[in-house]
């Protein structure tokens, strides 16, 4: 072998050593596929629904324009009808035959719990924006799931604490009878008691509900100062409307433990004025939130809910992780996502913990009186910023098996 040949072999060996990792790190079939499973027709379609599909497409378009990745991105979406079995079957189909890498949104706790199990079984990622129960990052946690936008601990910690400390000491809960409602009632009750309040009782209504008369009358008869609404979306809207019709309010005060800007818009400021609520996002918070929300509004003709804003944020963070490592391998993408801070219009200095909980600041808001609102969708006064470390359940209290104690 000549000196020239030896030099060529050595050079090729060096080149192979240099480029071998890059060759191994690649996006399967050259396409990243994102599945959006949401409620397109039911009780949560306003707070999530088509708006989360739009938010996902916005994230894809923005990422493609800015990052110009070497891989393609495709999105599929479906209506899970708020049923865990339908959602699980669709997720399985997407993973097994559709080449979907990540399933996202998953409003409705029963849906999220069902799908995150399928994601673990198939070694794909679940990005949860819409579901609320802390079970997702406690006893049901796994290493392929990220719970992004909010949870029942965070919203209860803000609203129930503010109302109880403000003098609303005696509570009665009107609760959606499934995992989300149970979790919200449990977390809010703990906050009420920790702040010197008392829980007089609770009644559970079917999900979804339409006639709340008998449940509201029980709440009225309890003599509670505060009727805590441990439900969301259309259930919350209907309960508030019927409470006013029966003359329960303003004699007793309602606390919407999970309310969205879409709910306030539907009910109007006259009905919701002065109510406290806790959210992870408000479109009119700062220049960054306003800029993104106005883009969203130009297509949706409604300002975004925190679920819709959180959906964009979670998808963008995922795509950035894929590009950073040059691969859609589940374990490697999860590692990259967890080690990368979240800094965007949705969250500043956010981070993903070992239990899959993305922690970020939350906001205690109070609905404006009609005379205080100066522009369309100008609905809230920001009463407090709840720091991430206080907003979410501490890891020391976690029951997630991934957390070593």
**pLDDT tens-digit readout, 103-121:** 999 999 999 999 999 999 9
Q: How far apart are CA 154 and CA 144, in angstroms?
A: 22
CA separation for the pair 339, 323 (Å, rounded): 14
Superfamily of domain 153-279+363-387: Response regulator (3.40.50.2300)
pLDDT tens sequence across 339-391: 999 999 999 999 999 999 999 999 999 999 999 999 999 999 999 999 999 99
Do domains 31-150+285-356 and 153-279+363-387 share one topology? The answer is: yes
The pLDDT value recorded for residue 52 is 98
pLDDT at 405: 60
CB atoms near residue 221 (< 10 Å):
10
The residue extents of the domains of the chain are: 31-150+285-356, 153-279+363-387
pLDDT at residue 19 is higher than 50? no
Q: The tokens of 232 are what? A: 């969301």
pLDDT one-digit tens code per residue, 243-272: 999 999 888 999 999 999 999 999 999 999
Helix axes 49-67, 306-325, angle to 10 degrees: 30
pLDDT for res 25: 55
The average pLDDT across 213-222 equals 95
Mean pLDDT of the chain, nearest integer = 92
Per-residue pLDDT at 300 exceeds 90: yes
Per-residue pLDDT at 116: 98
Predicted confidence at residue 250, as pLDDT, reads 86
Res. 24: pLDDT tops 50: no
Taken as a whole, the chain contains a residue count of 405
Confidence check: pLDDT of 156 > 60: yes
Does residue 23 carry a pLDDT above 90? no
Given this model, what pLDDT does residue 210 score?
A: 84
pLDDT of 192 strictly over 50:
yes
Q: Rounded CA gap, 202 and 251, in Å?
A: 19
Please state the three-class secondary structure of the chain as a single string.
CCHHHHHHHHHHHHHHHHHHHHHHCCCHHHEEEEEEEECCCCCCCCCCHHHHHHHHHHHHHHHHHHHCCCCEEEEEEEECCCCHHHHHHHHHHHHHHCCCCEEEECCCHHHHHHHHHHHHHHCCEEEECCCCCHHHHCCCCCCCEEECCCCHHHHHHHHHHHHHHCCCCEEEEEEECCHHHHHHHHHHHHHHHHCCCEEEEEEEECCCCCCCHHHHHHHHHCCCCEEEEECCHHHHHHHHHHHHHCCCCCCCEEEECCCCHHHHHHHCHHHHCCCEEEECCCCCCCHHHHHHHHHHHHHHCCCCCHHHHHHHHHHHHHHHHHHHHCCCCHHHHHHHHHHCCECCCCCCCEEECCCCEEECCEEEEEECCHHHCCCCCCCEEEEEEECHHHHCCCHHHCCCCCCCC
Q: Which two tokens stand for residue 276?
A: 């406290």
CATH class of the domain comprising 31-150+285-356? alpha beta
Cβ pair 55, 296 in contact under 8 A: yes
pLDDT at 241 over 50: yes
pLDDT per position as a tens digit, 61-81 = 999 999 999 999 999 999 999
> In 3D, which of 184, 178, 174 has the Cα closest to residue 220?
174
């Amino acid at each position: 072998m000549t000196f020239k040949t030896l030099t060529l072999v050595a050079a090729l060996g060096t080149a192979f050593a240099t480029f071998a990792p890059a060759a191994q790190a690649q996006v399967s079939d050259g396409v990243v596929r994102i599945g959006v499973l949401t409620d397109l027709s039911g009780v949560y379609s306003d707070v999530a629904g088509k708006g989360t599909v739009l938010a996902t497409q916005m994230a894809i378009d923005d990422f493609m324009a800015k990052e110009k990745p070497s891989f393609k991105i495709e999105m599929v979406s479906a209506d899970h009808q708020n049923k865990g079995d339908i959602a699980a079957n669709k997720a399985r189909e997407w993973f097994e035959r559709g080449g979907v890498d990540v399933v996202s949104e998953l409003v409705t706790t029963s849906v999220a719990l069902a799908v995150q199990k399928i994601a673990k079984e198939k070694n794909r990622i679940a990005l949860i924006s819409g579901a609320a129960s802390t079970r997702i990052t406690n006893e049901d946690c796994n290493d392929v799931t990220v719970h992004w936008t909010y949870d029942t601990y965070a919203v209860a910690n803000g609203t129930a604490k503010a109302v109880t400390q403000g003098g609303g000491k005696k509570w009665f809960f009107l609760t959606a009878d499934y995992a989300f409602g149970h979790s919200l009632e449990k977390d809010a009750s703990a906050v009420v008691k920790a702040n010197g309040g008392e829980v007089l009782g609770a009644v559970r209504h079917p999900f979804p509900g339409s006639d709340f008369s008998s449940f509201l009358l029980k709440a009225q008869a309890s003599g509670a100062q505060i009727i805590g609404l441990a439900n969301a979306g259309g259930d919350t809207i209907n309960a508030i409307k019927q409470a006013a019709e029966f003359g329960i309010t303003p004699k007793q005060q309602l606390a919407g433990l999970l309310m969205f800007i879409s709910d306030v818009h539907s009910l109007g400021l006259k009905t919701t004025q002065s109510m406290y609520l806790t959210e992870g996002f408000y479109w009119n918070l700062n220049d960054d939130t306003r800029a993104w929300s106005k883009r969203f509004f130009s297509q949706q003709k409604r300002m975004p809910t925190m679920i819709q804003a959180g959906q964009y944020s979670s998808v963008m963070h995922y795509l950035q992780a894929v590009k950073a490592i040059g691969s859609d391998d589940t374990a490697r993408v999860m590692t990259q996502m967890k080690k990368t801070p979240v800094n965007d219009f949705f969250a500043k200095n956010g981070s993903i913990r070992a239990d899959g909980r993305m922690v970020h600041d939350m906001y205690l808001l109070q609905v404006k009186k009609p005379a205080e609102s100066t522009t369309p969708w100008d609905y809230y006064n920001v009463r407090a910023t709840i720091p991430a470390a206080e907003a979410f359940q501490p890891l020391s209290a976690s029951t997630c098996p991934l957390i070593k104690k």
